[in-house]
Structures are given as structure tokens and as C-alpha cells.
């Protein structure tokens, strides 16, 4: 099992460019999440999905869009990148189990720089 | 808004010493989790404690939860240089679609 994988690992964009970050998981998890991590800020939830075809906004959704067309994939899009979106982006997944939320499994991250 | 607040922000100890990190939160939780992040890597789950539990152990890790004070602590006993990492608490709340709210983390440095 590869777990949670993210592509690309690194990317440099110019202001105004667009890009899509891909997250894939092979654990058949229902829930998937996109976070950004900035120095001193911990992880902040951008968008999440509780199942194929459904998405919802997290804490910091502005400037991002997501899609979950297949259960195993969760895409994060930046339509017009801004320097404020320079960050490390993490994808995570978790199973839906009785008794409430369980552990999340994280990908290795994508380091994005917007110039 | 973020709920988890951790202290200290940074902790430096010698190998063999114990490390204690604290986490406070604001509203009722379903469970509280601790994660570890090595530099440049993704987060790895360490331990989960439910709201009706007060203490949990896993190897050299001991987690306590005090729901009346809305706080938790993570104790790492007999620390090793390999324990050097950032540690995050994360809280989950009822009817929140599995979302976790992460604290800002404690950066632990264990010197050999």
C-alpha cells in the first residue's frame, strides 16, 4: 500500500498562474482533506470531502477549489495563484467509522512557492 | 478559528529526560489526537484519547485528558534524539464530518 500520495512535491508559480495538486489514497477511505501549513500557524483546513462527489469548505477556502470525482482522488486547484498562497500543502484521508472521527493519514506534502 | 493551543511552543531537553507538552481547546470534543511531524515530512498519528477517557498509554507515550479544564498533555518518557520533531494536538467535534482542528504545535529538540 502506498497510503496517501501527493503530486507534485514542489512547484514554483508566478502570480496569476493556475495549477492543480493531486492527492491519491489506496486505503478506500471515505474522508479526504486538504490543509495548508504555514510557519507558526499549525495546519489549517482548506476543503474536505466526506465522500465521492461531495466537498465542503474548511477554515481557509478562499482562492481554492476542489473536486472529488473518484473516491481515491481529491484535487486541489488554484485558479489564480497569489503570493499569500505560498505554503506547504498536505492531503489527508480517514475512514468513516462508528464512534466518531479517527486518525487521519497524511501525504508527504507539496511545497508551493508563488512569486 | 483554531481551537487547539499548545505550550510550550518549543522545548529543548537532554536524551533520557521526559518531555511534557500541553494542549488546550475551547469547545466540547469527541476525541483528541496527537500527531508527530518530522522536519519536511507529513504528520503521523501517535495516539487518540476519547472524551470519556482520562489517560492512555502507548509505549513511551502517556496522554491525559481533563475535559473539565479542556486540556490534554502528552508525556514522552526517556526521550531519545530520534524523538526530535514537532508535536501537534488535534481535536474532533461531533457532527463535523471527521474534521480535525490542529494546534500550532510544540517543537521538541532532544539533544544527545
Chain B interface test: which of A42, A47, A58, A94 (most B C-beta within 10 Å): A42
Pairing of strands B85-92, A110-114: unpaired
Which cell is A94 given?
480517514
Burial of residue A19, with CB atoms counted within 10 A of its CB: 0-12 exposed, 13-18 middle, 19 or more buried: middle
pLDDT at position A96 is 83
When pLDDT is cut at 50, 70 and 90, the band that residue B3 belongs to is: low
- Locate A96 and state its grid cell: 468513516
Listed residue (B76, B77, B89, B85) closest to B109, CA to CA: B85
Looking at per-residue pLDDT, the higher value among A80 and B27 belongs to A80
B82-109 mean pLDDT: 90
Question: Inter-chain contact B88–A90, Cβ cutoff 8 Å?
Answer: no
Distance CA A28, CA A51 (A): 11
Residues of chain B in contact with residue A33, where contact means CB-CB under 8 angstroms, are 99-100
Q: What is the pLDDT of residue A97?
A: 77
pLDDT confidence of residue A30 = 93
Quick: pLDDT tens for B12-24: 999 999 999 999 9
Say yes or no to pLDDT of B80 above 80. yes
CB B24 within 8 A of CB B12: no
Placement of cell 469548505 in the chain: A57
User: Quick check: B1 pLDDT over 70?
Assistant: no
Q: Is A50 on the interface with B (CB under 8 A)?
A: yes
State chain A's mean pLDDT as an integer.
Answer: 94
- The pLDDT of residue B105 is above 70: yes
- Tell me which residues of chain A have a pLDDT lower than 50: none
Q: CB distance A101–B31 less than 8 Å?
A: yes
Residues B60 and B95: their CA atoms lie apart, in Å, by: 32
Q: Do A102 and B96 touch (CB under 8 A)?
A: no
CA–CA dist B23, B14 (Å, integer): 22
Lowest mean pLDDT among B21-25, B69-73, B94-98, B100-104: B94-98
Question: Using one digit for the tens of pLDDT, what is the confidence trace for A95-109?
Answer: 987 766 789 999 999
In DSSP terms, A76 is beta-bridged to: A21, A66
Q: How far apart are the first and last CA of chain A?
A: 36
- Judged by DSSP in three states, B82 sits in helix
Among chain A residues, the shortest Cα distance to B34 is held by A103
Residue B7 CB: number of other CB atoms within 10 A?
A: 13
Amino acid at each position: 500500500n502506498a497510503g496517501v500520495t501527493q503530486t507534485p512535491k514542489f512547484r514554483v508559480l508566478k502570480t496569476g498562474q493556475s495549477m492543480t495538486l493531486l492527492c491519491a489514497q489506496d486505503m478506500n477511505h471515505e474522508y479526504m482533506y486538504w490543509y495548508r501549513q504555514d510557519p507558526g500557524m499549525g495546519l489549517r483546513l482548506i476543503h474536505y470531502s466526506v465522500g465521492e462527489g461531495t466537498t465542503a469548505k474548511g477554515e481557509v477556502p478562499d482562492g481554492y477549489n476542489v473536486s472529488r470525482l473518484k473516491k481515491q482522488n481529491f484535487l486541489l486547484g488554484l485558479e489564480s495563484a497569489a503570493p499569500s498562497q505560498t505554503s506547504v500543502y498536505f492531503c489527508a484521508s480517514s475512514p468513516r467509522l462508528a464512534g466518531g472521527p479517527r486518525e487521519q493519514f497524511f501525504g508527504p506534502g507539496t511545497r508551493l512557492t508563488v512569486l | 478559528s483554531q481551537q487547539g493551543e499548545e505550550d510550550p511552543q518549543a522545548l529543548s531537553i537532554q536524551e533520557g529526560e521526559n518531555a511534557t507538552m500541553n494542549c488546550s481547546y475551547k469547545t466540547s470534543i469527541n476525541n483528541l489526537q496527537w500527531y508527530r511531524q518530522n522536519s519536511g515530512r507529513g504528520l503521523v498519528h501517535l495516539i487518540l484519547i476519547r472524551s470519556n477517557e482520562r489517560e492512555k498509554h502507548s509505549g513511551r507515550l502517556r496522554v491525559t485528558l481533563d475535559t473539565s479544564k479542556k486540556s490534554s498533555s502528552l508525556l514522552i518518557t526517556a526521550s531519545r534524539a530520534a524523538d526530535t520533531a514537532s508535536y501537534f494536538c488535534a481535536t474532533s467535534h461531533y457532527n463535523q464530518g471527521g474534521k480535525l482542528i490542529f494546534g500550532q504545535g510544540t517543537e521538541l529538540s532532544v539533544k544527545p
